[in-house]
A and B are shown apart, each in its own frame.
Chain A
Amino acid sequence: MRFLPSQENMETKTIKDESKDTQTTERISGSEAIIKCLLAEGVDILYGYPGGAIMPVYDELYKYQDQIHHVLTRHEQGATHAAQGYARISGKVGVAIATSGPGATNLITGIADAQIDSTPMVCITGQVGSHLLGSDAFQETDIVGISTPVTKWNHQITKASEIPEVFAKAFYIAKSGRPGPVLIDITKDAQFETFDFTYEKCKGVRSYKPVPDTNEDTLKAAADLINNAKKPLIVWGQGVILGQAEEEFKAVIEKAGIPSAWTILGASAIPTSHPLNVGMVGMHGNYAPNVLTNECDVLIAIGMRFDDRVTGNLATYAKQAKIVHFEIDPAEVDKNVQTDVAVLGDAKASLKALLPLLNKNSHTKWHQQFKDLYQIEFEKVIKNDLHPVKDGLTMGEVLKEINSQTKGEAAIVSDVGQHQMIACRYADFNVSKSNITSGGLGTMGFALPAALGAKMAAPEREVIMIAGDGGYQMTIQELGTIFQQNIPVKIVVLNNEFLGMVRQWQQLFFDKRYASTEMVNPDFVAIAKGYHIEAKKVTERKDLKSAVKEMVDCKGPYFLEVRVEKEDNVFPMIPTGASVSDIRLE
């Protein structure tokens, strides 16, 4: 939609790097230019699926296959989740590529997921020739229009000469500030067209300020509130990880002695075993940090966005507390929770500047309250989850076994549902960027392709995927990709033959009317074996340990199905609309 007369739009936005005086120009096609842009941005792997409108780019990928590795997923959605897994474990920009029409629309779920979970990703889609735009041509779809609300930025290229600048800008926008997904749509004629190619990395965009300035007065005000607090509580989110602020964060909480709880995406920024780590907040989080949210006198939120799954009923959320919010995205401040002090800026820089302003403290009595409530949660919930006495296997004991055999060094890639909550609650994380899960969007089917991407980005790490029998089947075809690429991902399906989380809600809030939640499942082991992936099924407790050992020891990909209790529930739980302090233990 061009709604203003001026045609000169690209030139004004990107600041040129004047320091580069020598630039080589070469006359190449748009599609070759795309590959060169990707190489210039350090892309080593991309995930995608070919088709008519993107074929010129695939032809170049063939020529450049010694420099850039294209992974053929089995569905474009898988390509986006793989790119997300790649980005989440490495901090680098994930790249997905697809053709026009259905190829492009299949990317949308992954793009929306990356948008809400702030994952840096660049998606490239082919488009019909520019002369066909708007003609309802074969496989034409308005992907720029469709993706607008779920992208940080998007752009359609119709001329090859736009490619270098748009790609440079795309990578810059995707990874700077609060990261997010960017989509570039390229018409087929622009892929064929030749032009004089030069590449300069983007150094800034006039209308875009990735990191807001930090006001020193707000830092002082924050330090003042923290220093005078009797019962301070920190809730941190993914901002600590995205801002690479783990060390600064640890230094702050250790100096000020503040109990610190995490949102699902903040998990692993400091080790699970850290004495100041008091667990997860939110709907299925830990008892102590949820209850004490409504008792603390200062709540310090760091790189988190007060999602409704974290806050429960806002009208009764931490009303007694002063709220301090460290945040990179000004639009998040006062969005859900009114703050008393907002410290804008990058977490790493802000926390570094905060540290010398803080008094040393230990808050021993306050810590004891967390310990006491943990004991209650342990007796009512954790004991039964991790040390069950009943016959059926629990999801928790599978996690406990994985913890013990990986020593908390594994990256856990979880899907969405009961197993996800159990994985996040019980997995031991020793290393940052180890909890890869779909938090904001809650995308079932995320885990298998995301685990593939994560393992490819960090081959030195143990990557264990954990999914339920429902979500696993949403992207089960990516077993084909894992097989073809021979990626040693460890795949664990916790099978309760139900869409467990929905069933739990039906049990608790819909009088056990189990509408369409019972699954009749195939032979998962046979399916894995069909892809030549080693596979095993465990139905009894006595076999769990040896099966997990076999999985961890396996050099290639491995599939492990564990039949767990059919109707177990995840507790604690804050029912929708309830207050965080009304969290239920049973």
Chain B
Amino acid sequence: MENEIKQFTVSVYTENNIGLLNRISAIFQRRHINIESLNTSLSEIEGVSRFTIVVNVTESQMKKIQGQIEKQVEVIKAYYHTEEETIYQESCLFKIKSDLLFDERQIQNIIKESNARIVTVNKDFFVLEKSGRREELELLYRELSVFGIMQFTRSGRVAVTKDEMKISTMLKAFQH
């Protein structure tokens, strides 16, 4: 269904240049598309950066956006995938009052069951880290928000694809 709005994970391999983030995000902004999450990092190839962008669009929109991204001079290649085609993780941090850890037995159970990790504890607060799929993070958020969360933040999605992306072959081809 080309016209059904779906969640896509866009992987963009690029040169590492100042301003490229601006150039890529402008492609979405110009079409009035909200970026759900965005992450930039090194990639598996030395000197090549990788953007991981999550958007909710139709597949027909997605194809056009992929074309517009690839058209940018410093973009090597852009791919898009559905949720089923990727293995992805997001990560989040909760800052919570330390008292609760002792006063509310339930919190300890939640932490245990969710496989969240305590990063640090001091007398005022403790910090909880959880990585996983979006639903797991959201579940934990709901469970903890009952007790009060001092601070919360969630990272952009990082994803690898089940299928190969032939980026290295492309780069090799250029060198010949």
Contact = CB atoms under 8 A, between A and B. Distances in A.
A330 B77 CA distance: 13
Interface stretch (A143-151, A250-258, A459-467): A143-151
Nearest to A204: B174
Contacts of A509: none
Contacts of A2: 18
B123 to A, nearest CB: 35
A181 to B, nearest CB: 12
B47 A154 contact: no
A207 B23 CA distance: 15
B22 A335 contact: no
Which secondary structure characterizes the binding site on chain A?
A: loop
Given A3-B40, A4-B40, A206-B76, A145 B22 contact: yes
A329 B76 contact: no
A208 B73 contact: yes
B131 interface: no
A1 B73 contact: no
A534 B73 CA distance: 47
A543 interface: no
Contact of B64 (A13, A156, A204, A335): A335
A327 to B, nearest CB: 11
A12 B74 CA distance: 11
Nearest to B69: A331
A333 B70 CA distance: 13
Nearest to A208: B73
A8 B47 contact: yes
B73 A12 contact: no
A286 B86 CA distance: 51
A202 to B, nearest CB: 12
Contact of B63 (A9, A154, A334): A334
Interface string B161-174: 00000000001001
A338 to B, nearest CB: 9
Contacts of A333: 67
Contacts of A12: 15, 47
B21 A331 contact: no
A4 B67 contact: no
A205 B73 contact: yes
A148 B23 contact: yes
Contact of B73 (A3, A8, A145, A207): A207
B171 A206 contact: yes
Contacts of A240: none
Contact of B74 (A4, A207, A330): A207
A13 B63 CA distance: 27
Contacts of A135: none
A153 interface: yes
Contacts of B14: 207
Contact of A6 (B21, B47, B70, B171): B47
A365 to B, nearest CB: 38
| Most interface-central of B15, B40, B63 (chain A CB within 10 A) | B15
Contacts of A233: none
Given A148-B19, A207-B76, A331-B68, 10 more contacts: A1-B19, A1-B22, A3-B40, A4-B16, A4-B41, A173-B73, A208-B73, A330-B67, A335-B64, A335-B67
Q: Which 7 A-B residue pairings sit nearest by Cβ, starting from the closest?
A: A331-B67, A207-B76, A153-B73, A331-B71, A208-B73, A149-B26, A12-B47
Interface of B: 14-19, 21-23, 26, 30, 40-42, 47, 49, 63-64, 67-68, 70-71, 73-76, 171, 174
25 contacts: A1-B21, A9-B16, A12-B15, A13-B15, A144-B19, A148-B23, A149-B30, A153-B74, A154-B19, A155-B17, A155-B19, A156-B18, A205-B73, A206-B76, A206-B171, A206-B174, A207-B73, A207-B75, A207-B76, A329-B71, A330-B71, A331-B70, A333-B67, A334-B63, A335-B67
